[in-house]
Amino acid sequence: MLKIIVPIAALFLLTAVAAQAQGEKSTTRIEQQHKMTHFQNSQMKSSEASILQGLESGSPRLQQTSIQTLRELMQLATDYPFKSLITPLEKTLNNEQADRLVRWLSALALDELHSDAGDAAIRAMSQNSNDKGLQTLCQALLIRSNIE
């Protein structure tokens, strides 16, 4: 859990510094805010690795926390692709023995990643799921994204 919290705290600190720079109208910092620095990129890779560990753990609570952390990071770092997490999220979504909430969160995260592979997994789940709630969620995500 500590491995997840430390990189996230660093990212929040960087975001706060960028917001302060914008408030002070420092043009150099504002320009840098819209580009990921090498440090920010390495922090995101570290966070991505921690999230991957959480997804692969057997603990539903840790999986839920990891996916929620991912969703929050996607909102903070819109330019970062999170490519390495698409396949584990698909695997979690398709695992019928996985915790129900973890599967639902996986569907939401895949939708927010805006990837063709994620859309395909959501489309397949919207047609062939034993969990009718998850199936309905996936259908709604497809409609919201205008993908069918």
Q: Does residue 17 register a pLDDT over 80? A: no
pTM score of the predicted model: 0.73
The contacts of residue 54 (CB under 8 Å, 6+ apart) are 4, 62, 63, 65, 66, 69
pLDDT tens readout for residues 68-125:
999 999 998 888 889 999 999 999 999 999 999 999 999 999 999 989 999 999 999 9
Report the distance separating Cα 148 and Cα 123, nearest Å: 7
User: Which pLDDT value is given to residue 13?
Assistant: 58
Percent helix, strand, coil in the chain (nearest 5)? 80, 0, 20
User: Which pLDDT value is given to residue 27?
Assistant: 46
